[in-house]
Amino acid sequence: MIAFLWILGAIGVAWMGKQAGRAPFPWFIVGMVLTPIGGSVALYVANRTGWLRPR
């Protein structure tokens, strides 16, 4: 069950990355590696600082 929720959270990070105009697959990987909460924080920081500019 925890693996399902982990993957679902990572998909959510990828979806928010797509909404921000970024490529979703790298953000899915970040969400899997850093945990979904860590991926969300990384995406937030990337959006606020302009790190890895959207395409």
Structural domain includes residue 25: yes
- Confidence band for 38, pLDDT divided at 50, 70 and 90: very high
Structural domain includes residue 54: no
Number of domains in the chain: 1
CA distance 3 to 28: 14
Does the pLDDT of residue 55 top 70, yes or no? no
Q: Is this structure's pTM higher than 0.75?
A: yes
Structural domain includes residue 26: yes
Structural domain includes residue 55: no
Query: How many residues are listed for the chain in this entry?
Result: 55
Longest distance between any two alpha carbons in the chain, whole Å: 35
Does the pLDDT of residue 52 top 90, yes or no? no
